[in-house]
Amino acid sequence: MNALTASQPGNQTGGIHCGSLHARLRQTTADLHRRSEAVLDLPTKLTDLAGYVSLLDVLWRFHAGYERALRHAHLAAEFQSLCLCKADWIAEDLCYLGCAPRGDPIDVALDGRLDALGSLYVIEGSMLGGRYIGKRAAQALGVSPWRGARFFHGYGELARSMWKEFVCDLNSVPATGSPADRVEASSCRAFQAFIGSASR
């Protein structure tokens, strides 16, 4: 069982309702989530600081690419809690470790609100797992939110409420029909973009 399925048994937990678009995405992207976890290969990445830096590089390329596309799409008014600061948090962590981001942001094309919603599902959802990764990194390498792990701290105490707010936005789209298909396709593209970039 992967970390995601292990943490949330059943199909109605913490405000997640069966039959919602959220429930649909969670189910249809479960395999992509498993593949993302596998490609990140945490045991290797958390062996030493060099591995940890390469983990941050992978995450920076992904978030910087999506944040650039979200900025270009001028979607701030559509999402009240849109936070385009994750690439900066990662750059801050790399700087603390004496490094700068390596590689280029991934190329992302977003066409409108539904595309953005699908990709934000992956981006914001990944922050939940990030808290878990942060704890493992702290145990293995001694990093902390102030010392190289600002990104994994994410929204801190606000993490659950931010996620609930986002899930409300997501569930404002009915779970079936072409808008929902569009959101789902965009989520799958975001996971695939992550897997592709992390595999290189």
Question: Which parts of this chain interact with ligand HEM (CB under 6 A)?
Answer: 3-4, 7-8, 22, 26, 33, 36-37, 40, 42, 121-122, 125-126, 128-129, 132-133, 191, 194
Q: Nearer to ligand HEM by C-beta: 36 or 75?
A: 36
d(CA 116, CA 64): 15
Within the chain, residue ranges assigned H as helices are: 3-7, 21-28, 30-40, 42-45, 49-72, 86-96, 113-141, 150-153, 159-170, 178-199
Tokens found for residue 107: 């190329």
Looking at the Cβ atoms of 74 and 173, the one nearer to ligand HEM is 173
Q: How far apart are CA 195 and CA 127, in angstroms?
A: 16
Smallest distance, ligand HEM to C-beta of residue 183, A: 12
Tell the smallest beta-carbon distance from residue 91 to ligand HEM (Å).
Answer: 18
Between 22 and 113, name the residue whose CB sits nearer to ligand HEM: 22
Nearer to ligand HEM, 69 or 77 (CB): 69
- Cα separation, 49 vs 36, in Å, equals 21
